[in-house]
């Protein structure tokens, strides 16, 4: 494929404890405040499977113990590094702050190379990396694939070990009973994916907010493939004053352009070939972006209309800040479609012209 479908990384934060919300679309509005960190509890910390294996925490108490142990170990390293005046790597970041920098990568399991890229980004920018694995029932609607969503914990732990994760939080339940109080995505959750999946983003934000409170990360890494999810999380972090920096990581793709997704395992060989129409449509849209928004949608739509086995749900141009209409400047081209019974999403960033022809 001649057009690079990958979106650029968001601006990386400075090493060390971040100062608030980090985004290519919005700037920090206030300095972050220190949040009390969980203290150690008497319950023994679950032992890792081996010297290079992450600690597996299966409930909140085990998570608290694992995080407390990480902080104790980090404090010891911080004291040693300060005494030795070492100023390189993660120790350098920790030496300037009250504790090592912690990152979280939230997943629903069935980890693939896309998740691995998030874990690598977290490992490169943080002293501590926590991965969460939980299939969130709050974000699945009636008739969706909650029961058949792939669950591959043993393989997921192997991926986490390979990428240097310190703690894996893989609970069997988070909210029991289901929460009476949930977060709302508001208007951001009613368009695009939200129009097809009512309540999806409310459930997603409720889970993400809960995980942020449990893990207390400084950095949170999310994939740009789920663009609407990323927009909603960023807005939640700003609106509700979460003390965390959100980092978007570019979409991981197969060599032929297909966006990596846990749902790709549902595709037959023929359907997988059909699914390439989504990335081809995005490439066609980018190629036409110099001619303006109508040309982008026409070019991408023509590719999808000619594809076999692809039922388009939506093809839209939207603002990367608030998902509203956009006619010039930075934009997201987003597509969702069913290939067989599998629903796939994809998107790409582009720049629309500001001249009269493209406006």
Q: Which residues are catalytic?
A: 115
The Cα–Cα gap between 321 and 24 comes to 9
- Measured between alpha carbons, how far is residue 6 from residues 182, 210, 213, 253, 304 in Å? 34, 30, 31, 8, 20
Neighbours of 39 (CB within 10 A): 9
The Cα–Cα gap between 135 and 174 comes to 10
Buried b (16+ CB within 10 A) or exposed e, 66-90: bbbbbbeebeebbeebeeeeeeeeb
Asked if residues 218 and 94 have their Cβ atoms less than 8 Å apart, the reply is no
99 secondary structure, DSSP code: S
The Cα–Cα gap between 107 and 277 comes to 26
Q: How many residues does the chain have?
A: 359
Give the residue from 266, 267, 261 showing the smallest Cα distance to 111. 261
Q: If you search the block for the tokens 């608290």, which residue do you land on?
A: 64
Q: CB-based contacts of 96: which residues, under 8 Å, 6+ apart? A: 16, 17
Neighbours of 131 (CB within 10 A): 29
The dihedral over CA atoms of 256, 262, 266, 267, expressed in degrees to the nearest 10, equals: -10
The Cα–Cα gap between 182 and 205 comes to 8
How remote is the C-alpha of 211 from its chain's centroid? 13
Show the tokens assigned to 138.
């709050």
Give the residue from 236, 106, 263 showing the smallest Cα distance to 171. 106
Show the tokens assigned to 314.
């939506």
Show the tokens assigned to 334.
């987003």
């Amino acid at each position: 494929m001649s057009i690079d479908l990958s979106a650029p990384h968001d601006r990386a934060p400075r090493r060390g404890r971040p100062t608030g919300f980090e985004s290519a679309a919005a700037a920090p509005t206030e300095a972050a405040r220190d949040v009390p960190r969980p203290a150690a509890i008497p319950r023994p910390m679950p032992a890792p499977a081996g010297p290079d294996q992450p600690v597996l925490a299966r409930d909140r108490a085990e998570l608290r113990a694992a995080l407390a142990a990480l902080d104790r170990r980090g404090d010891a390293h911080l004291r040693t590094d300060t005494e030795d005046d070492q100023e390189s790597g993660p120790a350098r970041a920790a030496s300037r702050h009250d504790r090592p920098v912690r990152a979280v990568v939230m997943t629903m399991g069935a980890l693939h190379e896309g998740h691995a890229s998030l874990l690598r980004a977290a490992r490169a920018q943080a002293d501590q990396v926590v991965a969460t694995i939980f299939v969130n029932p709050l974000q699945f609607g009636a008739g969706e694939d909650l029961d058949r969503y792939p669950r591959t914990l043993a393989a997921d732990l192997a991926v986490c070990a390979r990428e240097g994760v310190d703690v894996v939080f893989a609970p069997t339940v988070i909210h029991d009973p289901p929460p009476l109080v949930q977060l709302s995505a508001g208007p951001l959750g009613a368009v695009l994916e939200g129009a097809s999946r009512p309540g999806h983003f409310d459930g997603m934000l409720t889970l993400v907010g809960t995980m942020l409170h449990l893990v207390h990360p400084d950095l949170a890494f999310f994939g740009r493939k789920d663009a609407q999810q990323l927009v909603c999380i960023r807005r939640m972090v700003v609106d509700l004053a979460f003390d965390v920096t959100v980092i978007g990581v570019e979409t991981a793709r197969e060599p032929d352009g297909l966006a990596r997704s846990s749902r790709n395992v549902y595709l037959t060989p023929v359907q997988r070939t059909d699914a390439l129409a989504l990335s081809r449509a995005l490439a066609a849209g980018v190629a036409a972006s110099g001619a303006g928004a109508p040309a982008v949608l026409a070019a991408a739509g023509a590719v999808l209309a000619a594809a076999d086995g692809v039922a388009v749900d939506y093809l839209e141009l939207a603002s990367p800040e608030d998902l509203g209409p956009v006619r010039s400047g930075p934009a997201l081209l987003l597509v969702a479609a069913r290939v067989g019974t599998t629903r796939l999403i994809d998107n790409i960033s582009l720049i629309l012209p500001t001249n009269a022809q493209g406006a």
